[in-house]
Each structure stands twice: as structure tokens, then as C-alpha cells.
Amino acid sequence: MISIKNLHANVEDKNILKGLNLEIKPGEVHAIMGPNGAGKSTLGNVLAGRDGYEVTDGSVTLNGKDILEMEPEERAREGLFLAFQYPVEIPGVSNLEFLKASVDAVRAHQGKPALDSVQFLKLAREKCKAVNLDQSFLKRGVNEGFSGGEKKRNELMQMMLLEPSLCILDETDSGLDIDALQVVAEGVNAMRDANRSFIVVTHYQRLLDYIVPDYVHVLANGRIVKSGGKELALELEEKGYGWLESADNGA
Ligand code: ADP
Ligand code: MG
Ligand code: MG
């Protein structure tokens, strides 16, 4: 699915990712944990191709294709989806129009015809229901005046409509109450299948009670410094990250 080799990246000329390696196979869910400022969001942003992130070494292939030279839109059409940490507001563009445009673009790339408006509305309404969002959200401006939980459920809905092959969720749990967290987790779990992979970035073990990962990695100082199964998250909850960061010093 995705293969990240020796990835080095800078933000504002500061080296943040320092030789990160990660291999994810179809169907797998990988959790990434780690201290604040370790580079977790940077990794998501680099993979998505956001502006301001400069890759200085290494490679990233998605389904065998080098994505580092692709524009963010192309990466999305290749099946990559980055969600959640800071969903943007787009006042004046209705949520429904925005969702349809993003789905049409991906379908066009896959050689599929655009859905007609009636079909799409029906589909969007189904997804609203699935994420427990009132249908009035389809008419509002994208994320305009949405609460934190509503933004996340809206983005989950977008993810469900786009059916990406690699979903990257950055701190899905921050700012969500337990009910909203469960809705998001159920949505993610419903999307899990043999051909879709997830990178779930989280600070807290709690989310991983709901979205049970196949692997847990610790990102510290711009690298993966430890990998394990889901039990690693429990160990981190208990011991923190200090023991790993000091182990990485001077490496
Ligand atoms: P994490 O998500 O693990 O908490 P980030 O990837 O957000 O960490 O940040 C890693 C480092 O990169 C931090 O030191 C942060 O201050 C810096 N950084 C991230 N984005 C920017 C930016 N746009 N401008 C300057 N520094 C940034
Ligand atoms: Mg952070
Ligand atoms: Mg972050």
C-alpha cells in the first residue's frame, strides 16, 4: 500500500523528519503515537503534499507510484486522504457542493462518470445518517460555524464518500467528547476492509480501545523509534515516552 523509506523533511528550513521508515500493507491499521512536536502532523502533511513541507531525502510510494512529485490533488485521486487535525472553513461554498466536487474529481480519475445531483444527494444523506450529522449540514458553508465534533464527523463523512485507499487521521480524538469519539470510531471501523489502510495519529491510548490497530509505532525526534502491537499503546500510557526518547539520543 504505502512504503516510506528514509524520509527526511524540513519545515521552514528546520529538519523535522530525520529518516523515517514505515511500510503499510493493504487492510492494516497503524497507530502513530509520540511526544508533542515529534513530527507526527508533519508526516501527515508531507504525505498529503501540503505547502511548506520540503522533502530533502527518501521516498514514498503509494500503490507502487512515487507520490512525492505529485500535487496534493493528484495524491487524493490516487487514494490518499488526510483528515482531522485542523479542518478548514470554506465560507460561501456549500458543504454538499464541496463534497460533490471532491467525489467527482476522484471518480473522474478512476474513469467513472460523475454522479448526478439527485444520486449524490441521496448518498450524502445516507452518510450524514451514518455519522450522526443532521442533513442541514449539507446546505451550510463548509465547516462554517461547525463545532469541533461536527467538523470531524463532517470530515469522516467526506472520507466515507471518497472511499480512499489510505486514510490518515491526525488526532481524531482531540476535542471530541466520548460520544463523538465513538461515532468517529464506528465510522472508521465500518470502513476497514482488506484493501484500505489507515494511519491513526493519536496522543492517547483511549482512541485505540475503539479503533484497534494492527501495529503501534512511536515517532520521536523525526523517526520511528519503536514499533509493536496494540499492547505497546498500553505500555506507553503507563511509562510515557521518556524512556524511548533517551534511548534514541545520540543514535
Ligand atoms: P506533532 O504533530 O508530533 O506534535 P508536528 O509535526 O506538528 O509535531 O511539529 C513538529 C515540529 O515542527 C515542531 O517543532 C513544530 O513546531 C514544527 N513545525 C510544524 N509545522 C510548522 C510550521 N508550519 N512552521 C514552523 N514550524 C513548524
Ligand atoms: Mg502536536
Ligand atoms: Mg500533531
- For the chain, give every domain's residue range: 2-248
Please tell me the residue having the least CA distance from ligand 1 atom 22. Answer: 11
> DSSP letters of 161-225?
HH--SEEEEESTTTT--HHHHHHHHHHHHHH--TT-EEEEE-S-TTHHHHS--SEEEEEETTEEE
Would you say 27 and 193 are in contact if contact means Cβ atoms under 8 Å apart?
Answer: yes
Amino acid residing at 211: I
Q: What is the pTM of this model?
A: 0.91
Reference 47, options 186, 184, 169; nearest CA is 169
pLDDT of residue 205: 87
Other CB atoms within 10 A of residue 132 CB: 18
Please report the ipTM that was assigned to this predicted complex: 0.93
Which CATH number is 2-248 given?
A: 3.40.50.300
Residue 164, ligand 1, Cβ within 6 A? no
Distance 16 CA to ligand 3 centre (A): 12
Residues of the chain with pLDDT under 70: 84-87, 246-251
Residue 42, ligand 1, Cβ within 6 A? yes
Reference 143, options 84, 102, 219; nearest CA is 84
pLDDT of residue 171: 84
Distance 201 CA to ligand 2 centre (A): 10
pLDDT of residue 248: 54
Say whether 35 sits in a helix, a strand or coil: coil
